[in-house]
Amino acid sequence: MIYSVIDVETTGGNPKSSKITEIAIYRHDGNQVTDEFVTLVNPEMSIPEFVSNLTGITDAMVENAPKFYEIARKIIEFTEGTVFVAHNVGFDYGMIRSEFRRLGYDFRLPHLCTVRCSRQIIPGKDSYSLGKLTRSLGIELVGRHRAGGDALATAKLLSLLLEKNSSGLTGLIQHELNPNFLHPALNLEEVEEIPNRAGIYKFFDENNQLIYLGKSKAIRSHVEQHLKDTSIKKSAQWCREIARVEFELTGTDLIAAILEYQAKKSKKPKYNRTVRTKAAPGEDLFNGQLKALDFNGESFYLLGKGRNKQEKSLILVENGSFSGYGFAPFHMNRLNPLFWKRFISYSSEDEVIQRMIANHIKKNKSEKIMV
């Protein structure tokens, strides 16, 4: 198996609005690097100052560099028939696909993430960032935040991972969605643009009927996993019915679980199992959870991550019962909690949601504000 170990530097973090300023590709035969292609790229836009401060790449440096369309054929030929490898592969792969998409070309390769591989093959590290991980493994990284230095260090990391467990890496290679197994109306570009954060996702058929919904801490990965699960006849059958995907970010997995439960209970999608709405007889007594479920009649907010960095999520419990959830400005703690109710979307009391909240509090450290 041949690998293309790749790193890109860019003008920003959003593939839609950012451009590549440098690309490095090291061809790896499973034992060592056999060839390389490294070049600055003229992004045809100004490089933000904070990005230049991080990478050292300035507008002056890329002024006479080739534009992406001038090296596109070289990239295709250099990587053809290989596995695309990167540290946090979603970013580099997404940026290159976005550049090719602007040229009207659908660039696709099987891809492998060395972060994911490292977590599985070398567990227990304090950090899996490229700099800290390579330092802990004794791998030299020269030129941090430059494409050549980062890609070469990633190639050395790949060699180490292959040496430790070459067969284990094969199972971690991610393959592209195959349109031949999917509904022709499904827009794969929209699927690829789903944020990989906590939320719920919904699948609709060609008649706009909700047929399945789920939750995940990384919704894009979960959606793609469903769409790739065509090896089992039953899964392949309902994958072909998915004509549209919707998603909703929730900030936390707890709110995602609440919304998933509420939607399954009310909508009853045909490919979801029937939800359990009550505890089995004697279950709470057996587990000694009755007092925990009504929170001793307390009123409080549970604070968590928001859907973006500018907000926090809220779950409101009043007199021991779930009342609702919402999202508020990040600095809302400057306000009296009595004013936080304006951010709440109210819901009816529910035994299952009570249990979700109780289990979350038991298992996680949560910011709890009494009211």
Instruction: Please list the active-site residues.
Output: 145
Angle among Cα 245, 247, 248 to the nearest 5 degrees reads 165
CB 26 within 8 A of CB 152: yes
365 near 300, Cβ under 8 Å?
A: no
* Cα 244 to Cα 7: distance, rounded to the nearest angstrom: 32
d(CA 245, CA 203): 5
Cβ contact 254:199 at 8 Å = no
* Residue whose token pair is 């996993």: 225
The Cα–Cα gap between 356 and 358 comes to 6
Amino acid at site 240: R
Q: Which residues pair with 222 in a beta bridge?
A: none
The three-class DSSP label of residue 249 is strand
Q: How far apart are CA 15 and CA 68, in angstroms?
A: 14
What is the sign of the dihedral through the CA atoms of 290, 295, 298 and 299?
negative
Tokens found for residue 201: 């996702």
Torsion of Cα atoms, 363 then 309 then 94 then 83, to 10°: -30
Report how far residue 168's alpha carbon sits from residue 59's, in angstroms, rounded to the nearest whole number: 42
